[in-house]
Amino acid sequence: MTITNREVNYIAELSKLELDEVSCDKMKSELESIVEFMATLNKLDTENAEPLTHIGNLTNVFREDKVEPSFDREEILKNAKNHTEECFTVPKTVE
């Protein structure tokens, strides 16, 4: 199947990745061959199969609705490049 440059750029946008022209062309041709490979699955009749998401028979594994201490705020902020004493900081998102 052919993938257009427009589609590659759209997927890159969804993936929050930037591709320059050279990487876009390379990615396009790699994606095309991978997608062609994935299309092998069309040779298998799965008419009577239901999609299987979880192996095993677990459903709704809950815990007691009890308040328990979480992490120390300072610990959690330690790995962030930009933060105040209380929060992670990001560029302004709303004008």
Partner 1 sequence: MDVLNLTALELAEAIKKGEITSKAATESYLKKIAETDGDINAYITVDGENALKKAEEIDRRIQNGELLGPLAGVPVAVKDNICTKNLKTTCASKMLECFVPPYNATVIDRLQESGAVIIGKTNMDEFAMGNTGETSYFGCTKNPLSKELTPGGSSSGSAAAVASGEAVIALGSDTGGSIRQPAAFCGVTGFKPTYGTVSRYGLVAHASSLDQIGPIARDVRDLAAMMDIIGGVDPMDATTLSTEQGYLKALSGDVKGLKIGIPTEWFNAAGLDNEIAERVKSVAEVLSGKGAKIIEISLPFIDFAVPAYYIISSAEASSNLSRFDGVKYGARTDSENLSSLYKKTRTDNFGDEVKRRIMMGTFVLSSGYFDAYYRKALKVKAVIKQNFDEVFKSCDIILCPVTPTTPQKLGQVQDPVSSYLTDIFTVSANIAGLPALSVPCGVHSNGMPIGAQLIGNTLCDKQVLNTGFAYQSEVKL
Q: How far apart are CA 85 and CA 68, in angstroms?
A: 23
By rule CB under 8 A, what string of x and - marks binding of each residue 45-74 to partner 1? -x--xxxxxxxx-x--x-x-------xx--
Minimum distance between the CB of residue 60 and partner 1, rounded to whole angstroms? 9
Give yes or no for residue 11 binding partner 1 (CB under 8 A).
Answer: yes
Q: Residue 55: which residues within 8 A CB-CB, separation 6 or more?
A: none
Residues 6+ apart with CB under 8 A from 73: 86
Rounded distance, CA 11 to CA 28, Å?
Answer: 11
Which residues are at the interface with partner 1 (CB under 8 A)?
8, 10-12, 14-19, 27, 30-31, 33-35, 37-44, 46, 49-56, 58, 61, 63, 71-72, 75-76, 78-82, 88, 90-93
